[in-house]
Amino acid sequence: MIRVLVVDDQELLRAAFAALVRHTPGIEVAGEAANGREAVEVAAELRPDVVLMDLRLPGLDGVRVIELIRSGDPPRPGVLVLTTCDLDDHVRSALRAGASGFLLKDSPPETLLAGVRAVAEGGMLFGPTITRRLVETYVRVPPARSGAPAPLAALTRRELAVLRLIATGATNAEIADRLVVSEGTVKTHLNRAMTKLGVSSRAQAVVVAYETGLVVPRNSG
């Protein structure tokens, strides 16, 4: 059973998301929170598998909420952010903080539930318009200078290969097939790479892959 903490300062929206979760087999509402500070406290108390949250919260900035939730004692919940705007400037900051996915609040119910399941399993999910916005942002970011610190230097060739494929959107199963190894081996390489990079989520690892130039998104023009 996937346990979800629903966080939104708008009572009607929070109730609607909670109702959707409650009526879905295999998923249940662990609790609710109406502001940032409450979200951090309830997450620490109830230890949900997934935090489904608005990024704009009273009491404590949403990015800071994610940082605090993701820095707690393991097992740490995955964070799926719901936003009303795909151009939100906080998206990249939230990814660095440890968010595992972003969806627009008007996404179809099946998409939202798919996001909850993906994040609960340690994966990622991004709405199409948000994905496009992120790619466009990274296309405009100039490559790191040759003299800059190289956070990837500690990674082995196989860890780099796994990280590169993760950043291009490949699943563990697809990577295993591509590298002719087991899915367990892929997870081991990814976990070791994340430890060396000092990140705690798959999404954060992807951010590092793009910001270091390991993966360069194709500019569709």
Of 42 and 147, more confident? 42
Rounded mean pLDDT of 121-128?
74
Asked if 2-136 and 143-211 have one fold, the answer is no
Tokens of 103: 């969806």
Give the separation between CA 132 and CA 45, rounded to whole angstroms: 36
Tokens of 100: 């595992």
| Domain chopping of the chain, boundaries | 2-136, 143-211
Instruction: Please state which architecture CATH assigns to domain 143-211.
Output: Orthogonal Bundle (1.10)
Residue 79's pLDDT band (cuts 50, 70, 90): very high
Secondary element (H or E) of residue 50: strand 50-54
Percent of the chain with pLDDT over 90: 49
Does the predicted TM-score (pTM) go above 0.75? no
Tokens of 130: 């948000």
Give the separation between CA 210 and CA 70, rounded to whole angstroms: 21
**Which fold would CATH assign to domain 2-136?**
Rossmann fold (3.40.50)
